[in-house]
Chain A
Amino acid sequence: MLAWTIFCSFAGAFLEAFIPEARARLARWLALAFAVAGFAIAAVDFFTHIGAVRTVLVDLSWVPALGIRFQLAADGISRVLVLLTGLASVSGVLFSWNIEKRTGQFFAFYLALIGGVYGVFLSYDLFLLFVFYEIAIVPKYFLIAIWGSTRREYGAMKLALYSFVGSAMVLIGLLASYSLAGAHSTTLVGLAHANLPVSFQMWAFPLVFVGFGILAGMWPFHTWAPTGHVAAPTAASMLLAGVVMKLGAYGCLRVAMGLYPHGMDPWGFSVLGLGSWRDVFALLAVIGIVYGALVALVQTDFKFVIGYSSVSHMGFVLLGLMTLSQIGLDGAVLQMFSHGVIAGLLFAIVGRIVYERTHTRQLAELETMHLARRLPFAAWAFVLAGMASMGLPGFSGFVAELQVVVDSWQMNPVWTIATAVGIVIGVAYTWRALQKAFFADKLPTAEDHPKEGWHDLGAITWPEYTGVGLLLGASLVVGLYPRILLDSIEPAVKALLAGGIQ
């Protein structure tokens, strides 16, 4: 059943490609229908399989000569991320309701991207996973380059090339493992059983981890993320931050850590206090957390603030992965979900609700617009989303980040302290953006006030209300009752830690 999320999205993409430009309404409703269908399938499957073990969905021989199988399977981690993808795709369609230019094509690329993302989360064959991973790259390029804003062609090309370089590294790892394992099988289980030599895992692990890590926004390979997010149209930046960065993190977890567990063994010597690849990547994650937050603090473009905050929040995911313990990994997967929802919400508010009305994202200009009075809904939504993003209790970010931070103490208390500093800076940059954009303390004077009244910014439309409600609701529900996801994540993580993918 879950496999239909993939087919459904690709079918939608195929149909959308044939919708003429004049029929924008049809394209929108069709896209919404396909996104909702995918979300419904994901949600039904999620709630009927809480705590279930790994189930194989489809298993067909694809290329028998090379042992490549069309194998889709889902465990708790996949289900959570598929649910997130469904949520993000529906709200993304809602926030693209105002796309008038080449609407059919927009949703064709959009749904193709969604299909690729579903595919990655459900693939249990490395070759298949790679195919879906690459399918997701090309639509991103066109979504940004055609419908984007600030320096869109630059941002799109940078993102495409970074992604492609990352996937080239993954492909090298895939080919090398495949031929070293005797060229019988490309399934994750088959490769994990192949007992790849430790010396090989020692270089394959960092190669593949960095390959996926590029897409997860790992410092110092994160620079595509802010420019890409800023250039992208709202729905695309929601998807980029919401699910595409999760593809990278998921690849790190499922492929790099699952196939090359010995790659994280200690080297036997230490350089600058780093004794294994695990330490190296944990350090990069911590740097990402603090660096992303610091850079977000000084941005003048509202969207760049959110873009860099994504880098910071994805650092928590990578740090959680590197703790290699039950709580830390739980936290990492939960943070993937949480950040997916919250970043989507922030980008939606900044890109769609504010930018489409004010046509500026410069904080200095927004300061003079008194948006709290003119767009109270946007202000309140951003206050709530900002609180969620800061990691206040009651929202999903708190539970996720808490688990990661607590568990990182076991690895290195210094990193925990650095991370905590990152969280504090996170409060600061969110606050700063919030205050500048919505609550500039200078009240409008009589001279400020235009004679004919404020230029009408346009009422908030129903898709915007629905989208905000959906994402905010998800963050609240998970924040108040985290077990709704943790019950699925925990057994899957436990199985992963116990025996890798085997």
Chain B
Amino acid sequence: MNLVDLFRVTLPETALEVAALVVLVVDLGILRKAALGTRVAAAAVLGVLGSVVALALLPCAGSTGFSSGEELLLASGGIAAVAQAGILILTILTLLLFIGSSFTRHAAEYVAVVLMAAAGGLLVAAAQDLLIIFVGLELLSLGLYVLTAFNKHSEKSAEAALKYYLFGGMSAAFLLFGFSYLYGIAGSTNLHQIMRAAFFASAAGGAPLLYVALVLIVVGLGFKVAAVPFHLWAPDTYEGAPAPAAAFIASASKVASFALLISIGAATLHLFDGLKQVVLIADQAGTAPAHLGLAMPWMQTLLLLSAISMIVGNLAALAQSSVRRLLAYSAIAHAGYMLLGVANLGFSTATAQAVLYYVLTYGLTTIGAFGVIQVVENATGSDKFDAFLGLHKRNPLLAAVLLILFLSLAGIPPLVGFWAKFNLFAAVLGVGTGAVSFSLVVLAIVLSAVSLYYYLQVLKRAYVMPAADETPIKAHPVTLLVLVAIAMAVVVSGCLPTILQTWIANAHF
């Protein structure tokens, strides 16, 4: 245990927490009498500065991580660093969207909570230890509950927050229960120790208890990524939360959760890494003990979640009439695609990188979509499909951004959504040679053909159907700038996918 190491590895988190305090002090101390617009802008800018500093401090963490004795507690560098950088960038974008919104008078509190939740996200992305995982997840989740409830004038916001909180509390309890079993079996809270102990425990006939623990943990984590059947909070939360908060929930928090799933998945596979010598005794048939340890059950559970998330998400989205709920169900479907990747991690890092690529670009696109919703809601007071009628007349630029983002979500080339899907499915087929993985890829592709229908329903309102009201919609210049930047990023990284891919593959911070 070297506390200097700990300080070094958690520099970005520290920067975020300091920034959160600074935002509060500045807003409550210096800007008390200032106009709301100024306070919102100041708080957001300070928050962005804090995140930028955290981003700049990421490389200082090195690549060795923080260990206590033999046990790695916090990873740094590589995949963890990519996820952390992604979380910070997405946080910056959601903070910038906040500038154009007007749902709260408590600007500083909002930004501070976002920053603290982001710090939780950073911890989750790097955590290799059950306790840190739990603390990180709770820090992240508590922030998200508060953010969901932030619009005090909206009943929906309060209702959504309560639902989110109750579901979240319940699933956290499940998670903790599962963790306690794992600790009981392994006598350690370290992921790698646990996986090794699980291997030997299952060889000694302890498999049933392990599976109980596994299911409990999957309940908790499935809730975080909104996988069916733990998805019930998502539509209400996406609908009720203020737009920038919903964007944060849909993007940065997703990145953190998937990074965690990747860490756990990798730990189930790499259970003998770092050991000098391993002697495996096979049974008389000479088959490799593939059923031992958690790798197989973990994979099978995730495949199951993936399949039903894809199906339920895509089919339920067909029946929506509110764009936010549509995005919620499409988020469930996308989580299904990503879970397919997480279930097929394999020993190379190709799939992990593909999943990260997917979740980062998906987060980016969703933030843009919520940005558009925010502008439209400010003008029309509704997020129903009909609020988007004639958008191409009312604000051509906004309509063009919506077109690009939704087509990207539907997976139309040359936008980044298509590339992310192709990359992910190619990686899955490269790892999972079995019929199950292949048929799930087929299912995913077929369902993404279905998804085109509901994305086109929104675009149809924006471009095809006649406008009921042709007064122009004004967007805050910062919001518009962010949206255009996101749309351009979606196009550029779709046409030149190598840029982001190389960055993810060679992330030596």
Contacts and interface: CB of A to CB of B under 8 A. Distances in A.
A63 B452 CA distance: 26
B464 A142 contact: yes
Interface in A280-305: none
A270 B65 CA distance: 65
A17 B414 CA distance: 18
B448 A175 contact: no
B425 A175 contact: yes
B498 A63 contact: yes
Contacts of B453: 157, 161
B442 interface: yes
A168 B445 contact: yes
Interface stretch (A133-141, A345-353, A427-435): A133-141
A127 B412 CA distance: 13
A137 B456 contact: no
B426 A164 contact: no
B498 A65 contact: yes
Interface stretch (A176-184, A374-382, A450-458): A176-184
A160 interface: yes
A138 B407 contact: yes
Interface in A52-69: 62-66
Interface in B373-397: 392
Given A131-B414, A175-B429, A179-B426, A165 B449 contact: yes
Nearest to A156: B464
A153 B452 contact: no
B289 interface: no
Interface in A87-106: 105
Given A134-B413, A137-B412, A168-B449, A64 B463 contact: no
A135 B498 contact: no
Contacts of B425: 175
B413 A175 contact: no
A62, A161, A179, most chain B CB atoms within 10 A = A179
B460 interface: yes
Contact of A172 (B392, B442, B463): B442
Nearest to A180: B429
B503 interface: no
B200 interface: no
A135 B426 CA distance: 21
Interface string B386-425: 0000001000000010000001000011100010001101
Contacts of B414: 131, 135
Contacts of A171: 422, 445
A157 B456 contact: yes
B429 A176 contact: yes
A105 B429 CA distance: 40
A175 B432 CA distance: 13
Interface in A139-177: 141-142, 145-146, 153, 157, 160-161, 164-165, 167-168, 171-172, 175-176
A308 interface: no
A179 B452 CA distance: 26
Contacts of B7: none
Contact of B441 (A135, A153, A167, A175): A175
Contacts of A66: 423, 426
Contacts of B464: 142, 145-146, 153
A395 interface: no
B449 A183 contact: no
A141 B456 contact: yes
A219 interface: no
Interface string A172-209: 10011011000100000000000000000000000000
Contacts of B418: 131, 134
B501 interface: yes
A214 to B, nearest CB: 11
Contacts of B446: 165, 168
Main secondary structure, interface of B, reads helix
Nearest to A165: B449
Interface in B447-474: 448-449, 452-453, 456, 460, 463-464
Given A65-B501, A172-B442, A175-B425, A142 B412 contact: no
Contacts of A124: none
Nearest to B353: A65
Contact of B449 (A130, A131, A164): A164
B429 A179 contact: yes
Given A65-B501, A137-B412, A160 B438 contact: no
B505 interface: yes
A178 B425 CA distance: 11
Nearest to A166: B449
Contact of B501 (A63, A157, A165): A63
A65 B505 contact: yes
A9 to B, nearest CB: 14
A138 B426 contact: no
B396 to A, nearest CB: 9
A76 to B, nearest CB: 28
A164 B452 contact: yes
B430 interface: yes
A279 to B, nearest CB: 26
Nearest to A183: B430
A64 B496 CA distance: 11
A135 B456 contact: no
Contacts of A172: 441-442, 445
Contacts of A176: 429, 438
B62 interface: no
B169 interface: no
Given A157-B453, A157-B456, A175-B425, A142 B463 contact: yes
Contacts of A64: 498
Contacts of A160: 452, 456
Contacts of A153: 460, 464
A142 to B, nearest CB: 6
B297 interface: no
A131 B418 CA distance: 9
A179 B501 contact: no
Contacts of A131: 413-414, 418
B78 interface: no
Nearest to A17: B400
Contacts of B445: 168, 171-172, 175
B504 to A, nearest CB: 10
A298 to B, nearest CB: 31
Contacts of A145: 460, 463-464
Contacts of B441: 172, 175
B324 to A, nearest CB: 23
B448 A168 contact: yes
Interface string B472-493: 0000000000000000000000
A279 B400 CA distance: 47
Nearest to A141: B456
Contacts of B502: 65
A65 B501 CA distance: 9
B352 to A, nearest CB: 14
A452 B446 CA distance: 60
Contacts of A167: 449
4 nearest A-B pairs in the assembled complex, by CB-CB distance: A179-B429, A131-B413, A168-B449, A145-B464
27 contacts: A63-B501, A64-B498, A65-B498, A65-B501, A65-B502, A65-B505, A66-B423, A131-B413, A134-B413, A134-B418, A135-B412, A135-B414, A138-B407, A142-B463, A142-B464, A153-B460, A153-B464, A160-B456, A161-B453, A165-B449, A167-B449, A168-B449, A175-B422, A175-B441, A176-B429, A178-B426, A179-B430
Interface of B: 392, 400, 407, 412-414, 418, 422-423, 425-426, 429-430, 438, 441-442, 445-446, 448-449, 452-453, 456, 460, 463-464, 497-498, 501-502, 505
Given A63-B501, A131-B413, A164-B449, 5 more contacts: A66-B423, A153-B460, A171-B422, A171-B445, A172-B441
Interface of A: 17, 62-66, 105, 127, 130-131, 134-135, 137-138, 141-142, 145-146, 153, 157, 160-161, 164-165, 167-168, 171-172, 175-176, 178-179, 183
